[in-house]
Amino acid sequence: MQETEDTISSTVGSSEHVTLTISIEGPYFPLAKFRKALDSFIDLLTEVDKETSDNGDLTVEWAISSITSGSIHITAIANPVNKEIHQSRPRQVIKTVTQGIDQLQEAPLIPIGFSEAALKHTKTFGVILDPNDFAEIKFRSNGWNKNIAPRLAGNIDEITKTTQNFYGSIEGTLVSISIADKQTLGIRSSIEGKIIRCHFKDELFELAKDALGGRVYVFGLVRQRLHGPKINIQVDELRILPSQDEMPTISEILARLRA
């Protein structure tokens, strides 16, 4: 066991790896709260990876190591899924997570790269703080560290409690289709740069399949944070748009106007 822990420690300490560690200190560690912290830790990393990747796919694999006596230390070692394509992704994802935690601890502002699910997982760390068990929660990563305060949960509540609904549209690239649970499209907005979840009707499924990977326009009921990004859209209309290569240039548009 000691040999395994030494091997893990050596790997984590290597400059070749990007890591994020959560440390929990306290007099008592209820199993249910430990599982909640571990699940939220892993799910946060996964959500930010998906939210910031080009097509919504996972680009980073996480190896989890732990634990020392009297406290809990969980370290996630980030490795690219494909070293040729995703070499820079581990640092990008960890940087997005650490900057997001910093921002959420200071003010109720949605960080870049944080989806609604990522906000929910981050809130967990502020909620489970309790002097009777999980008295202190701290994150650290390659020179950065942050002690979690209860205000983290309050700031996220402030973000998520106010939404508005209105009819509108988005344009972007259709990067994913999911039929698990509720049928959903993942569209990377050409304006916001983030993937927006779009719920669609059965009759749009075949059109969505034909559009996968291409530019699309959708119209429907949009749910959006007040003064924040779009959360999702209930799609009423879906159109396939020309690719960027097929779009007319400015000179071509001006020539048509003069004709």
Given pLDDT bands bounded at 50, 70 and 90, which one contains residue 238?
very high
pLDDT reading at 4 higher than 60? no
Dist. CA 44–CA 120, nearest whole Å: 9
What's residue 142's pLDDT?
A: 87
What's residue 1's pLDDT?
A: 38
19-23, 137-141, 145-149, 163-167 — which is least confidently predicted? 163-167
Whole-number CA gyration radius for the chain: 22
To the question of pTM greater than 0.85 for the whole model, the response is: no
Domains and CATH numbers, the chain: 2-160 (no CATH), 163-246 (2.40.50.140)
Of residues 156 and 259, more confidently modeled: 156
pLDDT reading at 15 higher than 60? no
Strand positions, DSSP E, 163-242 = 163-178, 184-189, 195-199, 215-225, 230-240
Of residues 245 and 160, more confidently modeled: 160
Dist. CA 111–CA 114, nearest whole Å: 6
